[in-house]
């Protein structure tokens, strides 16, 4: 019995021992597997829970004007936090004056809502509860960051003071609304607008990487002492924009928008020879009633241009040799019919047959449409008209660098799909039944100003990195002229007549300061042709042209959509904006003024020379010398007078002054006259205010005896 009990106990022991050995073997096997065979895998997973590689944002490149003014730049901002439980912080800090000072500085300069005592208590609490991440200030500027990092303890950095600084960038525009839509923006990976979007790859730079480790609360702190890849800053984009001309253009357009209460407005200023865009403005109203660049209509909106398109029709006729400027056309007193549709001129008049130039200058719808319909009114001839428009590149986008350019629409002759009808040709001739953007139309006008050479409009001149040119964008001339020199010069003559001739629609705003050329336009918007009338949903006023007319430097287009006050016509609404832009552009660009002394010196005629001026001889000689006027000196006395001799010469003659005799002071300034007369014992009274003496009451040569002399100045 005892033997059986002993055996049973031993059996149980052996079973337990075997079980323990098997479990130990299994644990050992699994430990070897985890630590040796799968060690790298599990170590990596463990590290991923506490350390990760985070992208570091690169500093985005700048967008600048041609002269280096900043249009868009990336300003550094900083999120600053603190790890009060960093192992590197000396334990003595918490009982030192430095702790008191840190609390004081934070309460005084970062968070004034807390007293220094409350700030100290707060920081100590964060230490006690084991916080590893205490926000100090988010979106701190560079100067604020420099100030905070100078505080006690924080000036030791992350690994001695526990300070955590994470840099980020905000896009800033120093000129705010200026060229806002053209500069554009980027949102995510799908929304790319303006220059920011078109040159995103160059501007964005290359991201770096930063190792971060996780602390409590899901916060991540950078590991500065571990390897990272530094981000590479983006490249700079140098535009063709001129900040002064952009400011002038936007102010002129803004003034017009306020004056007319229009729905939207566009103004573009282009360099004639190169196609460089010097200014581009797009203004509309926000819901809050503020002017803003809400959409880039200059590039993205293709509309019926109206009468500014008449230049293309006239150039087609001139290029094909179908008209001469000396020809005449019947305006039918401003009303005509095409099939069952009535076409009228904008103004009521009683003109019948007038010269072609006058019909264009008056912007006669009847005149221009009749010229085109008479010349191209059949199918094979209509094809020729469309071909000419294509040769002017009016059917093609300009290819401007930024996205969103609308396609122009020019109907194909007698094409049903395009909606060609019996009235299409005459209406197209005056800028309807086709669409085009302001930039595309300006490129055409620019080609006319440039003696027929079409240059591609462009907004970006070059790409730079650290001030060194990486890529340059050359001027792009389209091969060949858009028309012959003769036809182009005749088109220029037409545009000049619009301004210079009394019947021209732009004549009211011509100026003697400089010459400009161009064409007014007024287009009906959202119109419906009914049986007895045309219902109009608004108007679009425009002016396209260039200046100075004789040697064009800038071309410019202005379009004002749906003006509600101060008129609806291009001459009243858009032309004043063009004039303001041109006036100020010329005033700020001395190279546009004619050089006054470029030619040979022209001799003054006698009516342009000083005559009968008198005074102290040495004073007169000094003035003549300073003015560079030649003269014959016939005087040897103290007082002298100037006389014009031959048509282009001067003589300096004696002016006698004798004791006790009233002298002649005619032609003298008041100071000299008073000196001479009062030294003779005479009393003097004068009238006239300023100028030289023109009359004296006592005849020269009379004996001086204390009389009163009355002088009149003039």
| Three-class secondary structure of residue 81 per DSSP | strand
For residue 435, pLDDT beyond 60: yes
Burial 162-191 (b: 16+ CB within 10 A, else e): bbbbbeeeeeebebeebbbbbbbbbeeeee
- pLDDT digits 0-9 by tens, 81-106: 888 888 888 888 898 999 999 999 99
Peptide bond into 657 cis (omega under 30): no
pLDDT classification of 609: cutoffs 50, 70, 90: low
User: End-to-end CA distance of the chain, in Å?
Assistant: 158
Instruction: For residues 558 and 575, give the distance between their C-alpha atoms in angstroms, rounded to a whole number.
Output: 7
Q: What DSSP designation does 199 have?
A: T
Better-predicted residue by pLDDT, 714 or 554: 554
* 15-19, 114-118, 184-188, 597-601, range with greatest mean pLDDT: 114-118
At the second CATH level, the architecture of 54-239 is Alpha-Beta Complex (3.90)
Better-predicted residue by pLDDT, 6 or 125: 125
Instruction: For residues 180 and 173, give the distance between their C-alpha atoms in angstroms, rounded to a whole number.
Output: 8
Q: What is the structure's pLDDT at 47?
A: 46
Which parts of 479-573 fold into alpha helices (H)? 485-500, 570-573
- pLDDT digits 0-9 by tens, 153-182: 999 877 788 888 888 888 988 888 889 899
Q: What is the structure's pLDDT at 529?
A: 64
Instruction: For residues 267 and 298, give the distance between their C-alpha atoms in angstroms, rounded to a whole number.
Output: 8
For residue 648, pLDDT beyond 80: no
Q: What DSSP designation does 591 have?
A: G
54-239 and 606-713, same CATH topology: no
Instruction: For residues 26 and 143, give the distance between their C-alpha atoms in angstroms, rounded to a whole number.
Output: 62
Predicted TM-score (pTM) of the model is 0.74
Closest CA to 305 of 632, 576, 99, 542: 542
Task: Give the mean pLDDT of the chain.
Answer: 88
For residue 132, pLDDT beyond 90: no
CATH 3.30.10.20 fits 606-713, yes or no: yes
For residue 28, pLDDT beyond 80: no
- Residue 92 corresponds to which tokens in the numbers above? 């003595």
Mean pLDDT of the 473-481 span: 90
Q: Give the CA radius of gyration of the chain.
A: 42
Contact 116, 108 (CB under 8 A): yes
- pLDDT digits 0-9 by tens, 320-338: 999 999 899 999 999 999 9
Query: Cβ atoms within 10 A of the Cβ of 7, count?
Result: 10
Burial 357-392 (b: 16+ CB within 10 A, else e): bbbbbbbbbbbbbbbbbebbeeeebbeebbebbebb
Instruction: For residues 264 and 192, give the distance between their C-alpha atoms in angstroms, rounded to a whole number.
Output: 23
Better-predicted residue by pLDDT, 36 or 389: 389
Task: Give backbone dihedrals phi and psi of 587, rounded to 5 degrees, phi first.
Answer: -65, -30
Mean pLDDT of the 559-578 span: 96
In CATH, what class is 245-592?
A: alpha beta
- Residue 439 corresponds to which tokens in the numbers above? 């930039």
Instruction: For residues 710 and 698, give the distance between their C-alpha atoms in angstroms, rounded to a whole number.
Output: 8
Q: What is the structure's pLDDT at 440?
A: 98
pLDDT classification of 340: cutoffs 50, 70, 90: confident
Contact 544, 441 (CB under 8 A): yes
Q: What DSSP designation does 241 have?
A: -
- pLDDT digits 0-9 by tens, 497-545: 999 999 999 999 999 999 999 999 999 998 776 556 667 789 999 999 9
- Residue 123 corresponds to which tokens in the numbers above? 């920081």
Which string of DSSP letters, residue by residue, matches 276-322?
A: BEEEEEEEEE-TTS-EE--S-HHHH--B--GGGGHHHHHHHHHHTT-
Least confident range from 227-231, 631-635, 702-706: namely: 227-231
Composition of the chain by helix, strand, coil, percent to 5: 35, 25, 40
Domains of the chain: which residue ranges? 2-37, 54-239, 245-592, 606-713
In the chain, how many H helices and how many E strands? Answer: 22, 33
């Amino acid at each position: 019995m005892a033997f059986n009990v002993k055996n049973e106990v031993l059996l149980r022991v052996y079973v337990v021992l075997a079980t323990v050995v098997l479990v130990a073997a299994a644990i050992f096997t699994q430990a070897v597997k985890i630590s040796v065979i799968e060690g790298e895998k599990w170590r990596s997973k463990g590290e991923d829970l506490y350390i990760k590689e985070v992208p570091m944002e690169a500093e985005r490149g700048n967008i600048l004007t041609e002269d280096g003014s900043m249009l868009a730049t990336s300003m550094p901002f900083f999120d600053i936090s603190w790890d009060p439980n960093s192992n590197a912080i000396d334990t003595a800090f918490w009982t030192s004056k430095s702790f008191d000072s840190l609390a004081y500085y934070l309460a005084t300069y970062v968070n004034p809502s807390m007293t220094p005592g409350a700030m100290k208590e707060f920081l100590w609490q964060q230490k006690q509860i084991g916080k590893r991440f205490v926000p100090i200030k988010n979106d701190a500027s560079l100067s604020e960051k420099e100030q905070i990092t100078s505080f006690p303890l924080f000036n030791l950095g992350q690994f001695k003071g526990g300070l955590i600084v994470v840099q980020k960038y905000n896009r800033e525009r120093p000129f705010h609304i200026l060229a806002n839509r053209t500069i554009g923006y980027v949102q995510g990976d799908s929304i790319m607008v303006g220059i920011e979007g078109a040159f995103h790859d160059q501007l964005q730079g290359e991201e770096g990487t930063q190792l971060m480790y996780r602390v409590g609360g899901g916060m991540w702190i950078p590991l500065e002492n571990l390897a990272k890849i530094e981000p590479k800053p983006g490249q700079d984009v140098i535009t063709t924009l001129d900040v002064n001309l952009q400011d002038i253009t936007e102010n002129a357009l803004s003034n017009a928008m306020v004056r007319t209460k229009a729905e939207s407005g566009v103004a573009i200023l282009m360099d004639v020879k190169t196609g460089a865009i010097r200014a581009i403005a797009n203004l509309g109203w926000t819901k809050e009633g503020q002017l803003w660049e809400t959409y880039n209509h200059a590039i993205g909106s293709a509309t019926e241009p109206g009468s500014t398109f008449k230049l293309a029709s006239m150039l087609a006729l001139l290029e094909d040799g179908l008209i001469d400027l000396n020809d005449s056309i019947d305006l039918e007193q401003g009303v005509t019919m095409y099939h069952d549709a009535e076409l009228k001129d904008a103004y009521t008049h009683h003109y019948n047959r007038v010269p072609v130039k006058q019909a264009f200058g008056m912007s006669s719808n009847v005149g221009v449409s009749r010229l085109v319909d008479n010349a191209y009114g059949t199918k094979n001839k209509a094809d020729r008209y469309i071909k000419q428009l294509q040769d002017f590149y009016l059917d093609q986008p300009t290819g401007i660098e930024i996205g969103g350019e609308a396609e122009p629409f020019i109907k194909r002759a007698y094409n049903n799909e395009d909606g060609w009808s019996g009235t299409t040709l005459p209406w197209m001739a005056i800028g309807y039944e086709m669409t085009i953007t302001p930039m595309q139309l300006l490129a055409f006008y620019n080609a006319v100003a440039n003696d027929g050479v079409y240059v591609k409009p462009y907004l970006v001149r070059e790409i730079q990195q650290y001030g060194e040119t990486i890529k340059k964008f050359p001027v792009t001339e389209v091969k060949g002229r858009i028309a012959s020199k003769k036809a182009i010069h005749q088109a220029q003559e037409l545009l000049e007549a619009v301004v210079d001739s009394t019947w021209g629609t732009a004549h009211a705003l011509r100026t003697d300061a400089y010459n400009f050329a161009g064409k007014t336009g007024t287009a009906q918007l959202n119109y419906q042709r009914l049986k007895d009338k045309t219902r109009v949903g608004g108007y679009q006023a425009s002016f396209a042209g260039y200046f100075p007319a004789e040697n064009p430097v800038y071309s410019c287009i202005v379009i004002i959509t749906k003006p509600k006050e101060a008129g609806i016509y291009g001459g009243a609404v858009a032309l004043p904006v063009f004039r303001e832009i041109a006036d100020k552009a010329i005033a700020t660009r001395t190279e546009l003024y004619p050089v006054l002394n470029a030619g040979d010196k022209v001799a003054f005629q006698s009516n342009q020379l000083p005559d009968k001026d008198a005074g102290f001889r040495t004073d007169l000689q000094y003035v003549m010398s300073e003015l560079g006027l030649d003269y014959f000196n016939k005087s040897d006395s103290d007082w002298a007078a100037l006389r014009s001799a031959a048509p282009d010469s001067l003589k300096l003659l004696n002016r006698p002054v004798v004791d006790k005799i009233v002298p002649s002071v005619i032609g003298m300034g008041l100071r000299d006259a008073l000196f001479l007369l009062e030294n003779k014992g005479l009393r003097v009274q004068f009238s006239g205010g300023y100028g030289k003496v023109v009359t004296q009451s006592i005849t020269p040569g009379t004996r001086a005896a204390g009389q009163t002399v009355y002088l009149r100045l003039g």
